[in-house]
Structure formats: structure tokens, C-alpha cells
Amino acid sequence: MEESKKVQRKAAYSILDRGEGKEAYWHLIGTAFVCKDGSLNLVLNSLPLDGKVHIRDFKERDAQ
């Protein structure tokens, strides 16, 4: 598939603070797809408790 026609996929996370001295937990909650005009379509499988969604480039290891 040509690079220009390839769908750009990003991962959507909820980042949970687990308290002092503990690493934050990144919970994969959905996927975002980049549209031709640069906007995003966001598909969520769950909702973040704090209302914040962090979007990053999708990597295959995120699918686990």
C-alpha cells in the first residue's frame, strides 16, 4: 500500500497515577485514526475516569 494512502493509527490511553514512588499505569482505552485533513476520529473501548485521553503513535506491542 502506498504510504500516502496508508491509514495512520494512534493509540489512546488513560494514564493512572498510582501514588508516590510508583510508576503511572498506561491503560490502552482505544484507537484514533488520522483523517486526510489532520483531524482525528477517536474510537474508545472504555472511558477514562478523569476525562483525559492521551494519544500517541500506535505500536504493535500496544495491541497485547
pLDDT at 60 over 90: no
Compute the average pLDDT of residues 40-51: 94
Task: Name the domain count of the chain.
Answer: 1
Burial zone of 13 (CB within 10 Å; 0-12 exposed, 13-18 middle, 19+ buried)? buried
Q: How many CB atoms lie within 10 A of CB 64?
A: 5
Going by pLDDT thresholds of 50, 70 and 90, the confidence category of residue 28 is: very high
Domain span holding position 39: 3-59
Over residues 14-24, mean pLDDT: 93
Query: End-to-end alpha-carbon separation of the chain, Å?
Result: 25
Query: Is a pLDDT exceeding 80 seen at residue 22?
Result: yes
Please tell me the least confidently modeled range out of 12-16, 46-50, 57-61: 57-61
Instruction: Examine residue 26 and state whether it is found in any structural domain, yes or no.
Output: yes
The verdict on residue 64 lying in a domain is no
